Amino acid sequence: MSRAIVLYLHVHQPYRVRHYTIFDAGVRHDYFDAPDGDRTNNRDIVRKVAEKSYLPTNRRLLELLQEHPEFKLSMSITGTVLEQLERWAPEALRSFQDLTATGRVEIVAETYHHSLAFFYSREEFEAQVNMHREKVQQLFGQTPQVFRNTELAYNNDLAWWADKAGYKGVLAEGWDTVLGWRGPNFVYQPTYTDNIRLLLKNYKLSDDIAFRFGNQDWPEWPLTADKFAHWLNETPEATNFNLFMDYETFGEHQWHETGIFDFLHHLPKEWLKRDGNSFMTVSEVIDNFEPVDRVDMPQTVTWADTERDLSAWLGNNMQTSAITALYDLQNQVLESGDWDLIEDWRRLQTSDHFYYMCTKWFNDGDIHAYFSPYENPYDAFIAFMNAYHDLQFRLSEKGAAV
Amino acid sequence: MRVLMLGWELPPHNSGGLGVACYHLCKALSKKSVDIEFILPYHAPFEEDFMTVTAAHPQGAKVVLANASAYDSYKYVYEDGHEEWVDIVGQQRAYEHAVARLVEEREFDVIHAHDWLTFRAGLRARQVKNVPLILHVHSIERDRAGGQSGNPLVREIEATALLLADRIVAVSQLTKNAIIEDYGVPADKIEVVHNSVDHDSFLALDTDNAYRYLCAMKAQGYRVVVNVGRLTVQKGLPNLLKAAREVIYRAPKTLFLIVGSGEQYFELIELAAGLGISKNVIFTGFQRGKQWRDSFAVADLFVMPSVSEPFGITPLESIGFGTPALISKQSGVSEVLANCLKVDFWDVSEMANQITAVVQNDGLRDELQVNARQELNRLSWDATADRLLALYNEHIPAGAAA
């Protein structure tokens, strides 16, 4: 019996908004240029993450690709992180290019700006997907075949869109309430589509690595590669194990000291010990296995929190006020023909900005449960809205009615 | 005439109007040959020479570090190196003991204590030196609790001290009535002495307003409504935001500027978002200096919607900086200012009605301002100081004053 691990890593960094005040609005438009040493300084962050995560992880991934001809993986890399790597960590960008040069690393399609545009403006969404495709073609010489939406936010509409847009597959969370008795370890087809396939994240196995790996209170700690391979081998019926996670799992969320890199190093060897076991990219698994069933997801499902919905981004009034204000500017921004203005507007669409405004953990006092460069969600909101006001100012300077 | 002045804050280390009022009335008294020693609970450099400022540290304390606000916890650093965070009631007691020690080596003719935090210290000082004690009431606990009964420990201090005082100064008739109602103090014992404004401070305005964005929006036909003050329950800001929604519905080109910080900061940001008016409500946080002045100057109308405001100096400051005011009838300043709009703090629809009228009619705005300015010119701290001096003399035996 043939079985494949489908390892998919997501790479992203936003352009964080600095402490941008109302006194800056109308004066300077440098929302994303925090001073050196500031927690919102994007250059500092991308350099730190490159050093702690991207460079060491890519070095190990390249070793694995060289040692094991069977080893393969998939990645998505947003336009906003690619730009920042080009500018501030070019050696890290080259290390990604070295991986794709092996021909065994597939890049997954998404929005350039890691936005929630799908839910607000289909026109803008498609523009960002096109921008991302061009960037990937330019830097990696490949054209993505499989789509993932920001935060893995998925519903029937997204599948329908991706099908019509010609993608062979789309990624989503394998959430129990949607799957029911079915498991995530197969290829599926979304309802109301003709050709496209659906790959569902096995969140239990993925989170064992991404979240629980370094937790010494976890009964399965320490997790070794042979134990993990054993679990997969013992799973009765499965064709593919979809291990989807943030790239920063390696070295950033799970520090080097947890042994995460050793785990990664040994996993291919342990998994490939058994005949029939393999690694596949997202396209390959779709080419190799027929869909076993159709999956209906009318509601939007994401890969976040226990709710698996968009509430971490759009769950409170600040978040919805900010995002609707931003998309209300769309026509005026695009008609301005000012590419700096358009790009700033797009950078503000990145979902992280709305995540920083989330109050559901802040109110619980559990502020360590999420990553934010701001003191509190309100500071994030105020900085964002001041940047919004400055966009309004720039539009008015161009004669737009604001 | 030598006066021992007991106060909790002075600019620039003040969080509100109490420090400003103390500063100006001391300055005006000093011009009438009154020698003042002002005892603060914290150490801060005081650069002017019209009075002596002394820090009352608890025994053994080397440094007392205040937080941003005069009403937060303070950190006491002792000579033996240990540190302690002390809450407001604890500070009040520490201050009392420190003052009791300090006065033993000093001579003065009258003790003048400002608000409950210094009242026990005032009683102790009188006990030691046997000179008249005048308690100056800038607010009582009911005011600070937004009309609720407030902290019983604070009420006990107020009730006891007000009954034992030789004379009481209330900053308004409103406050005098509240003292009589809440504490049963005989009306004859309470003298109403209104606060005033410092006309010199209005000269500092320059033509280049710090709110460049708001100026640009005003050129686009927007009008600006401002509130400057602490964001606490006493100030009634939720009603202003509810009125703002009504105003924006009728006059969409109205922006509300909320300048200040306080315990309602987060709550008010969420309320504005919940009312769907985030695009029109700008929160600046606490401001000083030019940015503080320009907050008044940039506006078309200042609104003070206080639930309870014993005096309320900010509308006078606003008029001084060129912007007329809408004030709640539940304010002491209402007793000295006729040329302004007045509304019950709870009457949201009337508040909205009056704000809408001003933002839609520059003529009304300008007429209010011209007349209010003339009224303002008749107020002075000099007159306030005359009233206080007369009061001191009533309580000092003829010829006793040095």
Residues 6+ apart with CB under 8 A from A298: A155, A156
**Can you give the pLDDT at residue B401?**
55
B216, B266, B284: residue with CB nearest A22: B284
When pLDDT is averaged across residues A377-392 and rounded to a whole number, the result is 97
State how far the alpha carbon of B72 is from the alpha carbons of A355, B62, B83, B284, B392, in Å.
30, 19, 16, 21, 33
Confidence of residue B203 (pLDDT cuts 50, 70, 90): confident
Lowest mean pLDDT among A356-360, B279-283, B348-352: A356-360
3-state SS, residue A192 = coil
A318, A386, A392: residue with CB nearest B270: A318
Measured distance CA(A273)–CA(A269) in Å, rounded: 6
Confidence of residue B196 (pLDDT cuts 50, 70, 90): very high
DSSP character at residue A163: H
Percent of chain B surpassing pLDDT 70: 94
- Amino acid present at A296: D
**Can you give the pLDDT at residue B402?**
52
Measured distance CA(B239)–CA(B306) in Å, rounded: 9
* pLDDT over threshold 60, residue A364: no
A247 CB neighbour count, 10 Å cutoff: 24
B213, B274, B279: residue with CB nearest A22: B213
Chain B residues in contact with A29 (beta carbon < 8 A) = none
CB of A400 within 8 Å of a chain B CB? The answer is no
When pLDDT is averaged across residues A335-342 and rounded to a whole number, the result is 97
**Can you give the pLDDT at residue A363?**
59
**Can you give the pLDDT at residue B66?**
58
pTM for this entry: 0.87
Confidence of residue B73 (pLDDT cuts 50, 70, 90): low
* pLDDT over threshold 70, residue A84: yes
| SS3 labels along A319-388 | HHHHHHHHHHCHHHHHHHCCHHHHHHHHHCCEHHHHHCCCCCCCCCCCHHHCCCCCCCHHHHHHHHHHHH
Q: Are B163 and B196 within 8 A, CB to CB?
A: no
Residue A387 to chain B, least CA–CA distance (Å): 11
B140 CB neighbour count, 10 Å cutoff: 25
Q: A360 versus A291: which is more confidently predicted?
A: A291
Measured distance CA(B122)–CA(B96) in Å, rounded: 8
A359, A390, A402: residue with CB nearest B220: A402
Q: Please state the separation of Cα B38 from the chain's center in Å.
A: 18
Chain A residues in contact with B214 (beta carbon < 8 A) = 22, 26
Residues 6+ apart with CB under 8 A from A76: A8, A9, A10, A11, A12, A107, A108, A109, A110, A148
Contact A318 B269 (CB under 8 A): yes
CB of A317 within 8 Å of a chain B CB? The answer is yes
Contact A25 B213 (CB under 8 A): yes
Q: What is the β-pairing status of strands B341-343 and B325-328? A: parallel
When pLDDT is averaged across residues A196-221 and rounded to a whole number, the result is 96
Lowest mean pLDDT among A45-49, A146-150, A235-239, B119-123: A235-239
Per-residue pLDDT reduced to its tens digit, B322-355: 999 999 999 999 999 999 999 999 999 999 999 9
Q: Which pair of structure tokens corresponds to residue B40?
A: 């603060």
When pLDDT is averaged across residues A299-304 and rounded to a whole number, the result is 94
With CA atoms as reference, report the closest residue to B329 among B350, B352, B349, B305: B305
* pLDDT over threshold 50, residue A133: yes
Chain A residues in contact with B276 (beta carbon < 8 A) = 317, 321
Confidence of residue A367 (pLDDT cuts 50, 70, 90): very low
When pLDDT is averaged across residues A130-134 and rounded to a whole number, the result is 98
The interaxial angle of helices A260-272 and A225-234, nearest 10 deg, is 40
A209 CB neighbour count, 10 Å cutoff: 21
B211, B266, B269: residue with CB nearest A22: B211
Q: What is the β-pairing status of strands A105-107 and A146-147? A: unpaired
Confidence of residue B400 (pLDDT cuts 50, 70, 90): low
Chain A residues in contact with B215 (beta carbon < 8 A) = 26
Contact B265 A378 (CB under 8 A): yes
With CA atoms as reference, report the closest residue to A201 among A304, A110, A277: A304
Q: What is the β-pairing status of strands A294-295 and A187-190? A: parallel
Q: Which pair of structure tokens corresponds to residue B240?
A: 């202003």
* pLDDT over threshold 90, residue A203: yes
Measured distance CA(A393)–CA(B10) in Å, rounded: 38
Measured distance CA(A284)–CA(B361) in Å, rounded: 69
Per-residue pLDDT reduced to its tens digit, A63-73: 999 999 999 99
Chain B residues in contact with A402 (beta carbon < 8 A) = 217, 220
Q: B47 versus A387: which is more confidently predicted?
A: A387
**Can you give the pLDDT at residue A3?**
95
Q: Show which residues of A are catalytic.
A: 151
State how far the alpha carbon of B360 is from the alpha carbons of A223, B17, B220, B277, B304, in Å.
69, 31, 14, 19, 19
The interaxial angle of helices A122-140 and A79-88, nearest 10 deg, is 40
Start-to-end CA distance of chain A, whole Å, equals 63
When pLDDT is averaged across residues A11-27 and rounded to a whole number, the result is 97
With CA atoms as reference, report the closest residue to B146 among B348, B315, B306: B306
Chain A residues in contact with B248 (beta carbon < 8 A) = none
Contact A397 B216 (CB under 8 A): yes
Burial class (CB in 10 A: 0-12, 13-18, 19+), B400: exposed
CB of A393 within 8 Å of a chain B CB? The answer is yes
Cβ-Cβ pairs closer than 8 A, A with B, add up to 69
With CA atoms as reference, report the closest residue to A105 among A50, A65, A151: A65
Chain B residues in contact with A380 (beta carbon < 8 A) = none
Percent of chain B surpassing pLDDT 90: 77
When pLDDT is averaged across residues B190-201 and rounded to a whole number, the result is 93
Measured distance CA(B66)–CA(A189) in Å, rounded: 63
Q: What is the β-pairing status of strands B83-86 and B74-78? A: antiparallel
Mutate to test the interface with B, among A19, A21, A23 (most CBs of B within 10 A): A23
CB of A390 within 8 Å of a chain B CB? The answer is yes
Chain A residues in contact with B217 (beta carbon < 8 A) = 392-393, 396, 402
CB of A402 within 8 Å of a chain B CB? The answer is yes
Per-residue pLDDT reduced to its tens digit, A152-202: 999 999 999 999 999 999 999 999 999 999 999 999 999 999 999 999 999
Mutate to test the interface with A, among B213, B265, B283, B284 (most CBs of A within 10 A): B213
**Can you give the pLDDT at residue B45?**
81
Contact A316 B212 (CB under 8 A): no
Q: Are A349 and A390 within 8 A, CB to CB?
A: no
| SS3 labels along chain B | CEEEEECCCCCCCCCCHHHHHHHHHHHHHHCCCCEEEEEECCCCCCCCCCCEEEECCCCCEEEEEECCCCCCCEEEEECCCCEEEECHHHHHHHHHHHHHHHHCCCCCCEEEEECHHHHHHHHHHHHHHCCCEEEEECCCHHHHCCCCCCCHHHHHHHHHHHHHCCEEEECCHHHHHHHHHHHCCCHHHEEECCCCCCHHHHHHCCCCCCCHHHHHHHHCCCEEEEEECCCCHHHCHHHHHHHHHHHHHHCCCEEEEEECCCCCHHHHHHHHHHCCCHHHEEEEECCCHHHHHHHHHCCCEEEECCCCECCCCHHHHHHHCCCCEEEECCEHHHHCCCCCEEECCCCHHHHHHHHHHHHCCHHHHHHHHHHHHHHHHCCCHHHHHHHHHHHHHHHCCCCCCC
With CA atoms as reference, report the closest residue to A204 among A181, A239, A232, A227: A232
Confidence of residue B209 (pLDDT cuts 50, 70, 90): very high
State how far the alpha carbon of A173 is from the alpha carbons of A31, A168, B395, in Å.
33, 17, 80
Interface of B with A (CB under 8 A): 210-217, 220, 265-266, 269-270, 273-274, 276, 278-279, 282-285, 291
B213, B274, B279: residue with CB nearest A317: B274
When pLDDT is averaged across residues B290-317 and rounded to a whole number, the result is 95
Percent of chain A surpassing pLDDT 90: 92
Percent of chain A surpassing pLDDT 70: 98
Measured distance CA(B152)–CA(B85) in Å, rounded: 22
Contact B270 A385 (CB under 8 A): no
With CA atoms as reference, report the closest residue to B279 among A401, A20, A385: A385
CB of A389 within 8 Å of a chain B CB? The answer is yes
Task: Please identify which residue in the block is written with the tokens 């009312």.
Answer: B275
* Chain A residue at shortest CA distance from B257: A22
Residue A319 to chain B, least CA–CA distance (Å): 8
Contact B216 A26 (CB under 8 A): yes
Chain B residues in contact with A386 (beta carbon < 8 A) = 282
Per-residue pLDDT reduced to its tens digit, B74-94: 677 777 777 777 788 888 999
Chain B residues in contact with A329 (beta carbon < 8 A) = none
Contact B282 A396 (CB under 8 A): no
**Can you give the pLDDT at residue A366?**
53
Q: Which pair of structure tokens corresponds to residue A398?
A: 């161009």
Mean pLDDT across chain A: 95
Dihedral angle computed from the Cα positions of residues B155, B156, B159 and B164, in that order, rounded to the nearest 10 degrees: -150
B279, B282, B291: residue with CB nearest A325: B279
Q: Please state the separation of Cα A377 from the chain's center in Å.
A: 21
* pLDDT over threshold 60, residue B68: no
CB of A382 within 8 Å of a chain B CB? The answer is yes
The interface pTM score, or ipTM, of the predicted complex is 0.85
Residue A384 to chain B, least CA–CA distance (Å): 11
